[in-house]
Amino acid sequence: MNMKQEWQTYPDSDLVQLCRTGNRSAYGVLVTRYQRPVYHLCWRLLGNPEDARDATQESLVKAWQSLHLFRINDPFGPWVRQITRNHCLDRLRVRSRQGWTVSLTDTESENEEMSVQDLTPGVRDQLMEEDDRKYLFQVIQNLPEIYRIVLTLRYLESLDIDTMSQELDLPKGTVKSHLHRARAILRTKMEKTHDRV
């Protein structure tokens, strides 16, 4: 068993210690270990695979640069997810430029009544054949940005309302209202799908 294979069995904290001595191969093991959840989170938050790919790379590079700040007794997974989340939210802020609320107002009216018909024909046909679950997540990806973000933070990241409010820099009431509306839209979509079937 060579060194790299042996590292696969090492706990995260040992690998981080190796990284701090300048060992890049040890970080390669960490990247392999956490690329999946990081990419998943980026994809859910940013809504498309191209941005997700860039954001994943940038987040993992940021994590490398911040390894000296990592407290060795803490778990590595949540720490790297926190970096990823902040990075994605920063990207989204830049994208929306004037903040979440404006972004929502711009897209709300046209997306509120979005239906399966609004999706691209390929996706629509594909969705008709797939089960409800896949359809639901496709709908989530096509929701207005802020709805997709709150759903991702609430269900993929399991954040509570207080934490979401802090991370999104929005009042708690607004976060709750976005969550309610997002769920209401999803519920409507599910009903429509069942009606169509």
- 10 Å Cβ neighbour count for 54? 13
- Interface residue with other proteins among 7, 12, 27, 104 (CB under 8 A) is 27
Q: Which two tokens stand for residue 126?
A: 């594909």
- Interface residue with other proteins among 36, 99, 169, 171 (CB under 8 A) is 36
Q: Which two tokens stand for residue 30?
A: 């960490």
User: How near is the Cβ of 115 to other proteins at its closest, in Å?
Assistant: 18
- Among left, alpha and beta (phi > 0; psi -120 to 50; other), residue 11 is beta
User: From CA 42, how far away is CA 103, in angstroms rounded?
Assistant: 19
User: How near is the Cβ of 99 to other proteins at its closest, in Å?
Assistant: 22
Q: Which two tokens stand for residue 6?
A: 């042996």
CB-wise, 46 or 92, nearer to other proteins?
46
Cβ contact 61:31 at 8 Å: no
- Told to check if 134 binds other proteins by CB under 8 A, we report yes
DSSP 8-state class, residue 68: G
Which has the closest alpha carbon to 138: 150, 124, 151?
124
CB-wise, 28 or 167, nearer to other proteins?
28
Residues 144-183 that bind other proteins (CB under 8 A): 151, 154-156, 160-161, 176, 179-180, 183
Contact footprint for other proteins (CB under 8 A): 19-22, 24, 27-28, 31-32, 35-36, 39-40, 43-44, 49, 52-53, 56-57, 60-61, 64-68, 132-134, 136-137, 151, 154-156, 160-161, 176, 179-180, 183-184, 186-187, 190-191
